[in-house]
Structure 1
Amino acid sequence: MIATPPVPPLVLVFAASDPSCGAGIQADILTLASLGCHPLAVVTALTVQDTVGVESVHPVDSETVERQARALLEDMPVAAFKVGVLGSVENVVAVAEIVADYPDIPLVLDPVLASGRGDEFANEDLRAAMRELLLPQCTLITPNTVEARRLVEDEAEEEGPEDDLAQVAARLLALGSQYVLLTGAHEQTAQVSNTLYGENGLLRQDDWERLPGSYHGSGCTLASAIAACLAGGSEVEEAVREAQEYTWQTLAHGFRPGMGQFIPDRLFWARGEAEAGEDA
């Protein structure tokens, strides 16, 4: 009799569809599968975009978002949530209500506010809804430094831009997330420094070689990789380190299929093995 194979960790993703498969829910699926998880995908919006930029965003209605998620959660045990672009305030409300029913499941939020070109994904109302409804439920949020500053600037309208990243992280933690990982690709530094903060302040700083070029979906890859590691049983600090290593490798092996940004190669390891087999 053939034994039933074990079920891999299941990660439920809420994100928008990107037809280029460079970012969005397609990037999440590739990343989670590459790291040994089985992705469950709830589409929150359809986008018209390519590697150059985003032309338009078309949110899925919140009832359909909720029905997708509830059907999956009633059928299968989820080990982690990952949240990306939600597309509307109504979808933020729906997702917040869903995850509130599962407080013991880790939640990783990638607060995507704009595309790499600067195309807007989240207006002021949507950002406010994220801060008020989702951040208090997050295990970890993964904003780049530009996104982090925008989130706290919205919260303190009369204050100017924050330059001290430790203060930015502290203010995000005060909004309710257990951990904040600030990614430093947008800073003018020789290396990319990613800093993890918790309730007691700085927990770790990881410095990575700054690669040439611009990448489509690097933030999606990192957040999904962290969710995969958490689903596999890693603690937050370990998950953050493992996910950064994986993400850097996807960028180092990235390719440029179109006229815009490079796309991270989430299956770099498989192509490396295939090439090694051809050389043997």
Structure 2
Amino acid sequence: MSLPPPIVLSFAASDPSGGAGVQADILTLAGMGCHPLTVLTALTVQDTTGVEDIFVMDAEWVADQARTVLQDMPVQAFKIGMLGSVEIIAAIAEIISDYPDIPVVLDPVLASGRGDTFANEEIIAAMREMLFHQATIITPNSIEARRLALDDEDDQEILNLKQSADRLLQWGCSYVLIKGAHENTPKVVNILYDVNGMVRSDSWQRLPGSFHGSGCTLSSAIAASLARGMSIADSVYEAQEFTWLTLKAGFRPGMGQHIPDRFFWAEDEKPEEDSGSTGG
């Protein structure tokens, strides 16, 4: 009997379109050679055009889901996505505090790609207070980074990305990866920071169209790389490369956004006579 692959536990909401949320985490983690464990934080009514409704799980159900699988299987990384309530944040914070040596990737999902709001100010404050100091890395886009970094005293202040990263690091996380897809730059520039400043900066070609689930893919890919024992800097680069390739191979199955193809690499393994192409 072979040894199990690295195991990653994802806390996330369900997305019935399969583009984002826990479905995106499952596909990404499996695509990168990990075994995914999942804890649902919410159920959503959504498709590739946007989110219509959200049912937030009871915090005790979230805790029971996690405790049950954690008592059965060892995990090599945690990935945290959409949270839904302050009570769920508190439950997750208590759970991961029992595993201080396990890396934590926190994707602070504040809104959908269409702009549907997932987090109010109470949820943001609870994330800062209970989760940031336990996170190995948080992965906000530039809009989320600026919103997360503002406090009550300067909630109208315009922060640049370096200032935003500095603020976020003050709340105790080890690293911040700010994603630049929403910035007006020729290429997408993603910058990894720690308390000493910029760790690495990576530029990626902008691809046409908009994508549903790119942030979930990137954060899950980082968790997968960390679970396989890679350094944070190498994990961030490998995850970006994997994510960009999923977007390049992305498809538009419905009337809304494109969905990343997390199994783009499987197309390359098909014989030419069967697939008619080399994939990608």
Normalized against structure 1, the TM-score is what?
0.96
Tell me which residue corresponds to 1:145: 142
- Which residue in the other structure is 1:87 paired with? 84
**How far did residue 273 of structure 1 move?**
1.9
Residue in structure 2 matching 1:198, options 190, 194, 198: 194
Aligned counterpart in structure 2 of residue 112 of structure 1, from 109, 118, 132: 109
Q: Quote how far apart the aligned CAs of 1:160 are.
A: 2.7
Query: Where do 1:164-203 residues align within 5 Å?
Result: 164-203=160-199
Structure 2 distance, partners of 1:149, 1:6, is: 43
Judge conservation of contact 1:19–1:48 (CA < 8 Å) in 2: yes
Sort the Cα spacing of 1:82 and 1:163 in 2 relative to 1 into closer, same or farther, 3 A: same
How far 1:272 sits from its partner (Å)?
A: 2.6
1:269 aligns with 2:270: no
Alignment of 1:67-86 (within 5 A): 67-86=64-83
In the alignment, is residue 23 of structure 1 matched against residue 11 of structure 2? no
Q: Which position in structure 1 is the counterpart of 2:159? A: 163
* CA deviation string 1:103-126 (max 9, x = no partner): 100000000000000000001111
**Alpha-carbon distance, 1:27 to partner:** 0.1
- Residue 244 of structure 2 is matched in structure 1 by 248
In structure 1, give the amino acid aligned to 2:29.
L
RMSD (Å), alpha carbons = 1.1
Which one of the candidate residues 103, 124, 130 is aligned to 1:127? 124
Write the letter of the residue equivalent to 2:270. Answer: A
Measure the CA separation in 1 of the matches of 2:155 and 2:57: 35
Output the CA distance in 2 between the equivalents of 1:89 and 1:58: 14
* d(CA) in 2 for partners of 1:83, 1:237: 19
Contact 1:10 1:78 in 2 (8 A): yes
Correspondence for 1:12 among 4, 9, 13: 9
1:259 to 248, 255, 261: 255
3-state SS of 1:184 partner = coil
Residues 244-266 of structure 1, C-alpha deviation per residue, up to 9 Å, x if partnerless? 00000000000000000000000
Q: CA deviation at 1:176?
A: 0.7
Please list every run of 5 or more consecutive structure 1 residues that lacks an aligned counterpart in the other structure. none
Q: Does the 8 Å CA contact 1:162/1:168 hold for their aligned counterparts?
A: no
Separation in 2, partners of 1:31, 1:162: 34
Read off the aligned partner of 1:232 and give its amino acid letter: R
TM-score (norm 2): 0.96
TM superposition outliers: structure 1 runs of 4+ over 6 Å: none
Q: How many residues align?
A: 276
Question: Offset at 1:229?
Answer: 0.1
* Partner SS, residue 274 of structure 1: coil
Code of the residue aligned with 2:143 in structure 1: it is V
Provide the rounded CA distance (Å) in 2 between the counterparts of 1:208 and 1:276.
29
